[in-house]
Each structure stands twice: as structure tokens, then as C-alpha cells.
């Protein structure tokens, strides 16, 4: 958790750099996979470079390319990408202590607020360390992802179809990894189940990409579960208090 304590960035060891570099290698491999996948979907090198540099969010890029590859419309591809990228807005308050205070600097830093930068910055114990970690992770991640995308796009013709090497599994694997962290709560499990049912039910009747957009209709199920659990928790606390008072 990031606290308000400031420490000089140049003081002390910087163990986070090792973690950032390890994550960078993993992201580079995923970037190569994306480049191959995008090349097989018909994207040229220039489009892949621009997409990775400006979007810079792997799940959204895989979603957009997957929709296009399946014959979906540009609108469905953009909608699917935006739906997945929306989760990044929740990371803002988490990394706020790690980004500069000025508005222009925060606007620039917002481009790099993704899963990895948020997780590793939030793991630091003071503001100075978190700030340095965020910057180092952002640069490492952006370079790794973009270099990997370029390598994948260039070597895509040599690799052949993604199915040959099992790279087509990367797209659904990204969604499984994103969903796995939310299955620890009842609301998350209910939402995942309802969303999966909606998406699978819509596949035979809608164009590619639309089932992903329709899965957002599972949100009321999560809100319903959360609303029911709050009174239960309050009642449990009340009973525990009364029991303690009697004894």
C-alpha cells in the first residue's frame, strides 16, 4: 500500500527493477504473440505499430483484432476494446500517489496506467519508491510490448497461421486471466456465470464481437448480489455485538 512518506528516488536499493524487467520479458512474449495474431488477421506492420503504441492495452488489442479476424465490424471491434479498457479507469485512484501532481503530467501518465504498472506501483510502501517504480515499469512495459508486437508482425509470415503453434489460444487466455482474479467473490462468480451465459447464447444470433458487448448486461446481477450481502454482513455484526454485550 502506498503511504504518504516521501523518500529520495536515488536512495537505497531498487529491487523493483528486477521485478519490472521480469514482467517486461513476459510482456514481450505476449507482444510477439499479438503481432503474429494481428498479422494473420490481415493487419499490416504500420497498423500494428500504431495500435500497440497508442492503445497500449493488450486485452483490448487482442479483442479488437479477434473481432476483425472473425469478420466483425469496426464498430464492434472498437466497442469490445473500449469495454475491456474501461477497467483501467478504476486504477486511477490506486496509482494517484505514484504519478506527478501537475495536470499535464498526470494526463501523460494516464496512458501507462494498466494492470502491470498499477500492481507493481501499489505494492511499494512509500510514495517515492512507488513513483520510481511506476515510471520504470511504464517505460519497460511500453518498450517490451511494442518491440514484441513488431517482432511478431515481422515474423508472422514465417510462423504461419497462429493455430499451427497454438497461438490462437492467447486471445481466450487473456480473458481467462482477467476473469480469474474476480472469481474470489460471490459477486464476481455470479457476474462471470451470467456474462458467459449471455455471450454464449448470443453467439448463434449475432455478429462477431457483439456477444462481448452484450455480456455487460451481467452487471445488474453483480449489483444485486452485493446489495443482498451488505444487509447480511450488517446483521451478522449486530448479532455478534449483542452476543458480546450479553456475555
Comparing C-alpha atoms, which of 87, 80, 84, 81 is closest to residue 206? Answer: 80
User: Can you say how many angstroms the Cα of residue 7 is from the centroid of all Cα atoms in its chain?
Assistant: 29
Instruction: Give dist(CA 17, CA 8) in Å, integer.
Output: 16
Distance CA 191, CA 181 (A): 13
pLDDT tens, position by position, 56-78: 988 889 888 888 888 888 888 88
112 pLDDT above the threshold of 70: yes
53 pLDDT band (50/70/90 cuts)? very high
Checking if the pLDDT of 186 tops 50, the result is yes
Q: Report helix angle 58-69 to 45-54, nearest 10.
A: 140
Q: Strands, DSSP E only, in 62-112?
A: none
Q: Is this prediction's pTM over 0.85?
A: no
Q: Single out the residue of 9, 23, 63 nearest to residue 210, CA to CA.
A: 63
The answer to whether the CB of 99 falls within 8 A of the CB of 106 is yes
Q: Is a pLDDT exceeding 50 seen at residue 116?
A: yes
Averaged pLDDT score across all residues of the chain = 78
Amino acid at each position: 500500500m502506498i503511504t504518504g512518506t516521501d523518500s529520495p528516488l536515488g536512495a537505497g536499493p531498487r529491487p523493483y527493477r528486477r521485478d519490472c524487467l521480469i514482467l517486461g520479458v513476459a510482456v514481450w512474449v505476449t507482444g510477439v504473440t499479438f503481432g503474429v495474431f494481428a498479422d494473420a488477421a490481415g493487419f499490416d506492420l504500420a497498423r500494428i505499430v500504431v495500435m500497440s503504441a497508442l492503445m497500449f492495452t493488450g486485452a483490448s488489442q487482442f479483442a479488437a483484432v479477434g473481432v476483425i479476424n472473425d469478420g466483425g465490424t469496426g464498430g464492434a471491434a472498437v466497442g469490445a476494446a473500449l469495454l475491456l479498457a474501461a477497467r483501467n479507469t478504476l486504477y486511477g485512484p490506486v496509482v494517484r500517489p505514484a504519478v506527478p501532481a501537475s495536470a499535464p503530467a498526470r494526463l501523460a501518465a494516464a496512458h501507462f496506467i494498466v494492470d502491470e504498472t498499477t500492481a507493481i506501483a501499489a505494492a511499494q510502501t512509500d510514495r517515492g519508491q512507488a513513483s520510481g517504480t511506476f515510471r520504470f515499469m511504464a517505460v519497460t512495459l511500453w518498450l517490451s510490448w511494442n518491440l514484441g508486437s513488431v517482432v511478431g508482425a515481422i515474423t508472422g509470415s514465417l510462423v504461419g497461421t497462429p493455430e499451427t503453434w497454438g497461438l490462437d489460444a492467447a486471445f481466450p487466455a487473456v480473458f481467462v486471466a482477467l476473469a480469474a482474479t474476480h472469481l474470489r467473490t460471490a459477486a464476481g462468480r455470479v457476474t462471470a456465470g451470467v456474462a458467459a451465459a449471455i455471450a454464449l447464447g448470443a453467439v448463434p444470433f449475432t455478429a462477431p464481437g457483439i456477444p462481448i458487448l452484450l455480456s455487460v448486461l451481467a452487471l445488474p446481477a453483480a449489483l444485486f448480489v452485493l446489495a443482498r450481502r451488505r444487509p447480511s454482513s450488517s446483521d451478522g455484526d449486530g448479532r455478534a455485538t449483542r452476543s458480546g454485550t450479553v456475555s
